[in-house]
Amino acid sequence: MSRDVLLSCLGLEAGYGASQVLFGLNFDIRAGEVVTLLGRNGMGKSTTIRAVIGGLRARRGEIRFDGRAIQGLSADAIARLGVAIVPEGRQCFPNLSVREHLVAFADNRSGVREPWTLERLYALFPRLKERAGHLGNQLSGGEQQMLAIARALSTNPRLLILDEATEGLAPVIREEIWRCLDRLKAEGQTTLVVDKYVERLVRLADRHIILERGRVAWTGTSAELDADRGVWHRYLGV
Ligand SMILES: Nc1ncnc2c1ncn2[C@@H]1O[C@H](COP(=O)(O)OP(=O)(O)OP(=O)(O)O)[C@@H](O)[C@H]1O
């Protein structure tokens, strides 16, 4: 049975000043799916995400979220519709405690019956419970990343987006983040992931979208990507 489309980009074009980066992207993400956006450096992954979250205006085309065109809305309005981003570089507040990060933005944007509570977030990331009173700038890189994910979840997003969330983390911490995403997937969290670790992403995600110079060059399931090393070589340089 096909699930409802939550996010779709239709002929999306975007860029910076005179340089066009996205040349008519088309893709869908259905409710409950975990989808990755892959591609070598500079192919337009972060630019796509910026356009989706309202940080960069689409020049042409349409971005639809839950059936509604959102490409003209502010980043704030898009966030309130239930799109949460875990940005590159974590961006925790240095002078807020862990607990404050998790209560200050709490909301139930997806209107679920059992929203994330502080207790559930601490159960997902026990380390954050141990650090509840620590300030953002007293946390390790891995703890900051967990906090960034937990903070995004505290808004009960309909779509969670992670942009290079494991960048610069030790392998053991990275795996901890992946396992948390496995659990979120099992709970039905729709997620868009940009990351480099294709081997691990094949185990985590349902589908993959590969960008090549601002266009969708390949899409397929994890089984299809796993079976075609030519695609890895051609588009991902691995
Ligand atoms: N703020 C900006 N101003 C001008 N050009 C930019 C800006 N951000 C990105 N670009 C350019 O847009 C193109 C796509 O960049 P983008 O960051 O979307 O790629 P990416 O696929 O996310 O790669 P990476 O993994 O390196 O972040 C690149 O040529 C990049 O130099």
What span, in angstroms and rounded, lies between the C-alpha atoms of 230 and 206?
19
Cα(103) to centroid(ligand 1), Å: 33
Instruction: Name residues whose C-beta falls within 8 Å of residue 29's C-beta, 6 or more positions apart in sequence.
Output: 5, 6, 7, 8, 35, 159, 190, 192
Instruction: Name residues whose C-beta falls within 8 Å of residue 98's C-beta, 6 or more positions apart in sequence.
Output: 128, 131, 132, 133, 134, 136, 139, 147
Position 2 pLDDT exceeds 70: no
Mean pLDDT of the chain: 94
**Ligand 1 proximal residues by C-beta, below 6 Å:** 16, 19, 21, 39, 41-47
Cα(207) to centroid(ligand 1), Å: 23
Return the pLDDT at 1.
44
Read off the tokens for 158: 């309909």
- Closest atom of ligand 1 to 47 CA is 18
- Closest atom of ligand 1 to 49 CA is 18
Position 160 pLDDT exceeds 80: yes
Q: What does the buried/exposed string (b/e) look like for 6-22 if buried means 16 or more CB atoms within 10 Å of the residue's CB?
A: bbbbbebbbbeeeeebb
Nearest CA to ligand 1 atom 26: 41
Nearest CA to ligand 1 atom 1: 16
Torsion of CA 80, 159, 210, 181, to 10 degrees: 140
Nearest CA to ligand 1 atom 4: 16
Instruction: Name residues whose C-beta falls within 8 Å of residue 24's C-beta, 6 or more positions apart in sequence.
Output: 11, 12, 13, 60, 61, 215
Position 196 pLDDT exceeds 80: yes
Nearest CA to ligand 1 atom 29: 42
Nearest CA to ligand 1 atom 30: 42
Cα(97) to centroid(ligand 1), Å: 32
Return the pLDDT at 78.
98
Nearest CA to ligand 1 atom 15: 42
Q: What ipTM describes this predicted complex? A: 0.96
Return the pLDDT at 87.
85
Cα(21) to centroid(ligand 1), Å: 8
Read off the tokens for 221: 């399931």
Cα(189) to centroid(ligand 1), Å: 27
**What are the φ/ψ torsions at residue 97 (nearest 5 degrees)?**
-75, 165
Nearest CA to ligand 1 atom 2: 16
Q: What is the mean pLDDT of residues 125-142?
A: 94
CA Rg value for the chain = 17
What span, in angstroms and rounded, lies between the C-alpha atoms of 59 and 13?
5
Cα(44) to centroid(ligand 1), Å: 6
- Neighbouring CB atoms inside 10 A of 190's CB total 24
- Closest atom of ligand 1 to 88 CA is 27
pLDDT single digits (tens) 214-227: 999 999 999 999 99
Instruction: Name residues whose C-beta falls within 8 Å of residue 188's C-beta, 6 or more positions apart in sequence.
Output: 31, 32
Q: What is the mean pLDDT of residues 69-86?
A: 96
Q: Which amino acid is at 85?
A: I
